[in-house]
Amino acid sequence: TREIHLARRPSGAPVPDDFRLVTTTLPDLGEGEVLVRTDVMSVDPYMRGRMNDAKSYVPPFALDAPLEGAAVGEVLESRAEGIEVGDTVLHGLGWREHAVVSGKAVRRLDVSTLPASTYLGVLGSTGLTAYVGLTRIAEMKQGETVFVSGAAGAVGSSVGQMARLLGAGKVIGSAGSADKVSWLTDDLGFDAAFDYHDGRVSDRLGEHGPVDVYFDNVGGEHLEAAITHLNDFGRVAVCGMIAGYNDPSQAAGPRNMMMVVQKRLRLQGFIVTDHYDLASEFYEKAGAWVADGSLKHRETFADGLDHAVEAFLGVLSGANTGKMLVRL
Ligand code: NDP
């Protein structure tokens, strides 16, 4: 079987030589373990942070060891109670064609109505991130105007639609291409969207603002623009700052932080894993929205473990619309 290792820590933007495709043999199954054949794995921007040797909310990836991440697949062998051969499960040992996992660390999935990949995206921690950020962190209220960056990505496309479903008055998104912008306004029901390459973000946002809630996936110029256009007592759910993930220089933050004082804004960061207590409420609502078509999602697939690194580099640079996944 094959797996992908971190060969060295990327400096700035990762390159293919930072990774290594390794052929290995599987260990025998221990008591309580299952053997899973990975069908689909997720590649996510947060993995870039785990490639640095830095203290964070998750430990860094080890060098010369397989990478990890969310994946779904079929159980080929089981020595775990309650998990049968043929079950489809979610687990955390992606980046490999087969995984030997503790039965306690897998979740059985109901794939009778939805493909398993849905649980890596809109009905997985991606969708939960959107829900937590809007409801618990930003405390979005009926009728408010919401701005989301990275809006055509996995989290962002859920944020905009959920904001609408939860009663936002107006939803504005920014994304990196004209095609993505059309998807947001024509298919997903965003009221307005713009390509952030078209002039200054603050000017473009100003054409549609002001806003009450900013869901930040990007940081940098986007955050500065949002601070300028937030109403008094506006809230920012700080979810991610992808504009800086490959920037080792730690560029200075927004220049207009005094406006946070003047407008009495609240900026709060969050990590989805702290909020699993909202998971069942989320699955109930989002499951119904997906089933009745009111919450749409798109997946961009790469095929084969050979293309997983390319897919990961792609998600950092905007090659995806919706959720970036690798089919094995
Ligand atoms: P996405 O599907 O949104 O993919 C990342 C997207 O970011 C790309 O498609 C690209 O789209 C955009 N992007 C890349 N570089 C830049 C840039 N310099 N400026 C603006 N946009 C850029 O990934 P996810 O939905 O998985 O993640 C979105 C964000 O949410 C990330 O910041 C991630 O770290 C964060 N996150 C946080 C979690 C938490 O618990 N706090 C949990 C999950 C995700 P484009 O073409 O538009 O540039």
Contact of 78 with 85, CB cutoff 8 Å: yes
Asked if residues 185 and 172 have their Cβ atoms less than 8 Å apart, the reply is no
The yes-or-no verdict on residue 56 having pLDDT over 90 is no
pLDDT for 17 equals 98
C-alpha dist (Å) from residue 15 to 7, 12, 48, 151: 11, 9, 12, 26
Residues 6+ apart with CB under 8 A from 110: none
- The answer to whether the CB of 145 falls within 8 A of the CB of 234 is no
Q: Is 120 exposed, middle or buried (0-12, 13-18, 19+ CB in 10 A)?
A: buried
- Residue 138 is predicted with a pLDDT of 98
pLDDT for residue 58: 87
Segment 12-34, tens digit of pLDDT? 999 999 999 999 999 999 999 99
Q: Is 152 in the pocket of ligand 1 (CB under 6 A)?
A: yes
- How far, in Å, from the CA of 326 to the mean position of ligand 1? 17
177 lines ligand 1 (CB under 6 A): yes
Strand partners, 91: 71
Distance CA 147, CA 137 (A): 14
Token readout for 233 is 């007592």
What value, to the nearest 5°, has the Cα angle with vertex 192 and ends 191 and 196?
155
| Shortest-distance Cα residue to atom 2 of ligand 1 | 153
Q: What rounded mean pLDDT belongs to the chain?
A: 97
Instruction: Report CA-CA distances (Å) from 180 to 46, 150, 173, 311, 326.
Output: 22, 10, 10, 18, 20
pLDDT given at position 246: 92
From CA 205, how far away is CA 196, in angstroms rounded? 9
Atom 26 of ligand 1, nearest CA residue: 44
Q: What is the pTM assigned to this prediction? A: 0.97
pLDDT at residue 292 tops 90: yes
pLDDT for 57 equals 87
Locus of tokens 């549609």: 208
Nearest CA to ligand 1 atom 11: 318
Q: What is the mean pLDDT of residues 179-183?
A: 98
Residue with tokens 């989320």: 282
Q: ipTM strictly over 0.90?
A: yes
Catalogue all structural domains in the chain, each as residue range(s) with its CATH number.
2-116+294-327 (3.90.180.10), 126-271 (3.40.50.720)
Cα gap 224→156, rounded to integer Å: 18
Ligand 1, atom 17, residue with closest C-alpha: 243
Tell me, using a 6 A CB cutoff, whether residue 238 lines ligand 1. no
